[in-house]
Amino acid sequence: NNFKLLVSACLLGHPVRYDGKSKPLADLSWLKQLQQDGKLVVMCPEVMGGLNTPRAPAEYAEGKVITVQGIDVTEAFEKGADQALALCQAHQVSHALLKANSPSCGNQQIYDGTFSATLIDGEGVTARRLRENGVAVFSELQLNELQQQLNHSD
């Protein structure tokens, strides 16, 4: 079982979210074991893109990422996505576990850009970049599916 898994740092308990908090999985034992086994690559694309923590919340709309104050932070989000992909390539990462609904990490749904807590189908900037480059992207809502795939990978 030779896989490497890229994981959103906030899911592992790192306080890197826009609000300065984390969002750890309810049960971290599986990730901690993978980390001990040297199988995890932990990152936060928004931090790698140069954004501060805490930072203004941002949402994706019409091809751009805009903060709640109206600042265009697309460039930092793109840079973070580039860095996440570079990490995947450097470590031969096949799978990623990314935080659901984030404008960077969300792989199925994101907020609609109106800051009204409205989810729509779509991908965050990093999730899309990784998927388009052959990384199998999962969220914490798809943990069972991810674990099954990894158990069958060689």
Question: Could you say whether residue 44 binds ligand SF4 (CB under 6 A)?
Answer: yes
Q: Count residues near ligand SF4 (CB under 6 A).
A: 12
- Can residue 9 be called a binding residue for ligand SF4 (CB under 6 A)? yes
Structure tokens at 91: 């470590």
Q: At its nearest, how many Å lie between ligand SF4 and the CB of residue 99?
A: 3
Does 76 bind ligand SF4 (CB under 6 A)? Our answer is no
Exposed, middle or buried by CB within 10 Å (0-12, 13-18, 19+), for 43? buried
Q: Is 46 in the site for ligand SF4 (CB under 6 A)?
A: yes
**SS3 label, residue 62:** coil
**What's the rounded Cα separation, in Å, for the pair 40 and 53?**
23
| Options 31-39, 60-68, 99-107, 146-154: segment touching ligand SF4 (CB under 6 A) | 99-107
The dihedral formed by the CA atoms of 92, 82, 146 and 119, expressed in degrees to the nearest 10:
180
CA–CA distance, 107 with 126 (Å, rounded to integer):
9
Nearer to ligand SF4, 10 or 34 (CB): 10
Q: For ligand SF4, which is the closer residue by CB, 83 or 104? A: 104
Binding positions for ligand SF4, rule: CB under 6 A = 8-10, 16-17, 44-46, 99, 102, 104-105
